[in-house]
């Protein structure tokens, strides 16, 4: 039995015509944002990518089949349905073999994007090493995926619900370059800065495209993280967010939240505690990443 990929008409044509394609994840739709903002954002992000001259491929598993590119109806179905499994690397065999529905995380999306021959992926934030990982060993499978799957990921850094210092150390050990777009420091999702330096700063999408190409030309396997700070006007106050995050972490602990539930629990707590401000910021940064991703995708295609 071979794994079958189901391409949307738009993505199929883009492949035939050599147009640049950008992968998008679906966990952000099902577990990362509430309804109806999740659907609206998914549509808007796709539209931004088209405006930049690339083609969006939102990835999910429907009835056990990997879909590369979803119709509007399929995105709506996914967002509405209750029985969609958050799909990281270890979840894929079960979901496919049992013909279930799955929303792919960063790791899950990277795997499917590589199968589909799509080298670039846009999202909000990657998973990372959780605070207290010395004891819990809670380290997102996204990091391991970045070390072995050849897909570059545009994000707004990672949330400070994570231990950003340990996340950077892990990525260094695994040989994953973290490139700052017009920034010297790792952005922390809601805020433009963090105390941690990125490995390299590049200010031009073309230069980022060259770095991505060079890594793979060298035969080095694995991804590249492109960290794009949230626009100034959408950023939230650092002190305020740190307090909120402390509170969300305390509630996760009090409720004994474990395993794959941790990240969705923290995301939804942060949203409630900020009275929706975090959601607005989240939407703004994903759109900002889509713009940059579109430019990088076009630049990658134009490299000779």
Judged by CB under 5 A, which of 138, 142, 145, 163 binds Mn ion?
A: 138
Residue 282 token pair = 């989240």
Q: Say whether residue 91 binds ligand PSU (CB under 6 A).
A: no
The nearer residue to ligand PSU, 169 or 203, going by C-beta atoms, is 169
* Angle subtended by helix axes 262-273 and 277-302, to nearest 10: 120
Q: Say whether residue 140 binds ligand PSU (CB under 6 A).
A: yes
Q: Which of 76, 86, 159, 271 is catalytic?
A: 159
In sequence order, the 6+-apart residues with CB closer than 8 A to the CB of 181 are 202, 203, 205, 208, 226, 227, 228, 229, 292
Is 159 an annotated catalytic residue?
yes
Q: Which long-range contacts (CB under 8 A, 24 or more apart) does 263-266 make?
A: 263/31, 263/127, 263/140, 263/161, 264/31, 264/32, 264/86, 266/159, 266/161
The nearer residue to ligand PSU, 8 or 289, going by C-beta atoms, is 289
What one-character DSSP code corresponds to residue 139? Answer: B
3-state secondary structure of 131: coil
What one-character DSSP code corresponds to residue 154? Answer: E
Q: Say whether residue 27 binds ligand PSU (CB under 6 A).
A: yes
Is 82 an annotated catalytic residue?
no
Q: Which H or E run contains 153?
A: strand 152-155
Q: How many residues at the interface with ligand PSU, by CB under 6 A?
A: 17
Positions 253 through 292 that interact with ligand PSU (CB under 6 A): 260, 263, 267
The nearer residue to ligand PSU, 52 or 142, going by C-beta atoms, is 142
Positions 151 through 170 that interact with ligand PSU (CB under 6 A): 159
Q: Which residues are catalytic?
A: 25, 159
Q: Which residues are near ligand PSU by CB under 6 A?
A: 25, 27-28, 32, 88, 105-106, 124-125, 127, 140-142, 159, 260, 263, 267
């Amino acid at each position: 039995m071979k794994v079958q990929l189901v391409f949307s008409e738009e993505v199929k044509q883009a492949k035939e015509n050599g147009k640049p394609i950008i992968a998008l994840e679906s966990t952000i739709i099902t577990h990362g944002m509430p309804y109806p903002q999740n659907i609206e954002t998914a549509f808007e992000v796709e539209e931004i990518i088209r405006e930049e001259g690339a083609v969006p491929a939102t990835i999910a598993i429907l009835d056990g089949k990997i879909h590369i590119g979803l119709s509007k109806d399929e995105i709506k179905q996914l967002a509405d349905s209750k029985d969609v499994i958050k799909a990281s690397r270890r979840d894929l065999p079960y979901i496919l073999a049992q013909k279930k529905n799955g929303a792919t995380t960063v790791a899950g999306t990277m795997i499917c994007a590589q199968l589909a021959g799509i080298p670039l992926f846009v999202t909000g934030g990657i998973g990372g090493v959780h605070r207290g990982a010395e004891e819990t060993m809670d380290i997102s499978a996204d990091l391991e995926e970045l070390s072995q799957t050849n897909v570059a990921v545009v994000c707004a850094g990672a949330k400070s619900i994570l231990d950003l210092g340990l996340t950077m150390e892990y990525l260094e050990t695994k040989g994953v370059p973290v490139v700052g777009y017009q920034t010297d420091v790792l952005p922390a999702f809601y805020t433009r800065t963090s105390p941690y330096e990125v490995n390299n700063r590049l200010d031009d999408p073309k230069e980022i495209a060259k770095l991505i190409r060079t890594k793979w030309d060298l035969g080095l396997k694995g991804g590249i993280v492109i960290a794009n700070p949230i626009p100034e006007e959408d950023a939230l106050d650092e002190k305020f967010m740190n307090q909120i995050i402390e509170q969300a972490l305390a509630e996760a602990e009090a409720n004994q939240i474990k395993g794959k539930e941790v990240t969705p629990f923290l995301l939804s707590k942060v949203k409630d505690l900020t009275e929706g401000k975090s959601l607005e910021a989240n939407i703004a940064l994903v759109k900002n990443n889509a713009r940059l991703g579109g430019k990088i995708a076009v630049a990658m295609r134009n490299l000779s």
